[in-house]
């Protein structure tokens, strides 16, 4: 164990590092720290860097800038700008194309919008700013768009045969938005969480802890790994952002691992499938528990549950190759953490310290 103190401004921070987990004991004012973490407004897009970004050329970057401006003109945050660029990469590779495909022969423009009256005239669909504006207006009509997995938000704004189609373009969209946003976007976390909180847990994790699946075995650890056969690749292909447990024989009942408040319910939502996100009652840790059986959830958003409370049934929903529980840990109280946007931490040292692994 390594212990050291860091003095920042008027606060003294003691850092205790155990394995990959950093526990931060901070005497600074948490309210003051939180005030600097408000969800950022949309940033102005500057000129495209010479040579392009992430394999996209000057024309494509100009179109990305038009998308970002359309979001900013509507008063939307960086999260929307990212979603817009992500959607356009998935639809047209950021080019204003004058043709459709087999599923939509009348689709046109950056967002491949159909000639059904919902997206304006042909000229509107071929205009980068107008087509982006119409996309964002549709996005705003999606209830809770800013709390959904981005690919699902895009899918609900304009349907795609595969709701998870856009996931693979998130990393490149992030590179583009940061490149065009310059210093204003360099440290932006599009979920509105403080940049750099990453793998720091503030204070000690107290309270009762239990096994989430009492009779299960851990089947996959945290860290680099090839994508399991039968699962989607993309940005999630080569790293496992949590740990997996599976019960031999029949599916087990998944329990709340500690006292927590349920802040997010997912029902057959993208790569997560069905599951819950909970925050420890002290706000020091956010826990995601996914791939549960559809229709098995026993809790709802806003519920406060004790350690050992049944949450649902082990399942195989979402981006999986078989039945199991996938569990992710995030430092702090996050309302809707998503990989790879938010930095995860390895749950293993914490579970071992609590005597449940």
Q: Note whether 20 and 345 are within 8 A (CB).
A: yes
175 and 309 co-located in one domain: no
Residue 116, classified by CB atoms within 10 Å of its CB into exposed (0-12), middle (13-18) or buried (19+), is: exposed
153 — phi, psi (to 5°)?
-60, -45
CA atoms within 13 A on the CB side of 8: 12
Distance CA 131, CA 125 (A): 5
334 and 213 co-located in one domain: yes
Q: How many domains does the chain have?
A: 2
Tell me: cis bond preceding 340? Omega within 30 of 0 counts.
yes
Q: Comparing C-alpha atoms, which of 109, 83, 98, 39 is closest to residue 176?
A: 83
State the CATH number of the domain containing residue 267: 2.70.70.10
Going by C-beta distance under 8 Å and a sequence separation of 6 or more, which residues neighbour residue 325? Answer: 212, 213, 216, 244, 245, 246, 254, 289, 290, 291, 292, 314
73 and 179 co-located in one domain: yes
β 21-26/200-202 pair status: parallel
Distance CA 86, CA 170 (A): 6
pLDDT (tens digit per residue) in 214-239 = 999 999 999 887 777 777 655 566 77
From 151, 186, 221, the end of a domain falls on 186
Going by C-beta distance under 8 Å and a sequence separation of 6 or more, which residues neighbour residue 278? Answer: 256, 260, 261, 262, 263, 286, 287, 289, 305
Supply the pLDDT for residue 46.
67
Distance CA 209, CA 347 (A): 13
Residue 356, classified by CB atoms within 10 Å of its CB into exposed (0-12), middle (13-18) or buried (19+), is: middle
Supply the pLDDT for residue 14.
34
Supply the pLDDT for residue 320.
86
The predicted model scores a pTM of 0.54
Ranges under pLDDT 50 in the chain: 1-39, 189-198
115 and 237 co-located in one domain: no
62 and 109 co-located in one domain: yes
179 and 134 co-located in one domain: yes
Supply the pLDDT for residue 189.
45
138 and 245 co-located in one domain: no
Distance CA 228, CA 237 (A): 8
In which domain, by residue range, is 93 found?
58-186
191 — phi, psi (to 5°)?
-85, -5
């Amino acid at each position: 164990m390594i212990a050291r103190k860091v003095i920042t401004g008027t606060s003294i921070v003691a850092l205790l590092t155990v394995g990959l987990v950093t526990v931060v004991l901070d005497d600074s004012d948490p309210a003051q720290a939180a005030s600097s973490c408000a969800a950022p407004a949309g940033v102005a897009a500057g000129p495209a860097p010479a040579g392009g970004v992430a394999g996209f050329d000057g024309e494509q970057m100009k179109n990305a800038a038009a998308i970002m401006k359309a979001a900013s003109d509507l008063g939307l945050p960086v999260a929307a700008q990212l979603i817009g660029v992500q959607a356009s990469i998935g639809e047209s590779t950021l080019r204003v194309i004058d043709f459709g495909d087999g599923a939509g022969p009348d689709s046109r423009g950056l967002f491949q919008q159909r000639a059904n009256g919902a997206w304006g005239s042909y000229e509107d669909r071929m205009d980068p700013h107008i087509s982006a504006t119409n996309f964002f207006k549709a996005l705003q009509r999606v209830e809770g768009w800013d709390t959904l997995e981005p690919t699902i938000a895009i899918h609900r704004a304009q349907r795609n045969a595969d709701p998870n189609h856009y996931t693979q373009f998130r990393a490149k969209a992030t590179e583009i938005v940061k490149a065009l946003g310059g210093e204003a976007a360099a440290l932006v976390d599009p979920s509105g969480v403080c940049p750099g909180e990453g793998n720091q847990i503030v204070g000690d994790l107290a309270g009762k802890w239990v096994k989430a699946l009492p009779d299960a075995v851990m089947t996959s650890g945290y860290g680099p790994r090839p994508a399991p056969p039968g699962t989607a690749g993309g940005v999630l292909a080569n790293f496992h952002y949590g740990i997996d447990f599976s019960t031999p024989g029949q599916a087990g009942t998944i329990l709340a691992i500690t006292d927590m408040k349920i802040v997010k319910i997912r029902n057959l939502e993208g790569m997560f499938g069905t599951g819950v996100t909970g925050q420890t009652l002290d706000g020091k840790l956010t826990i995601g528990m996914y791939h549960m059986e559809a229709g098995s959830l026993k809790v709802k958003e806003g519920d406060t549950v004790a350690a050992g409370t049944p949450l649902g049934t082990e399942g195989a929903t979402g981006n999986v190759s078989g039945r199991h529980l996938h569990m992710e840990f995030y430092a702090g109280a996050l309302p809707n953490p998503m990989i790879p946007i938010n930095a995860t931490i390895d749950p293993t040292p914490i579970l071992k310290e609590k005597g449940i692994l």
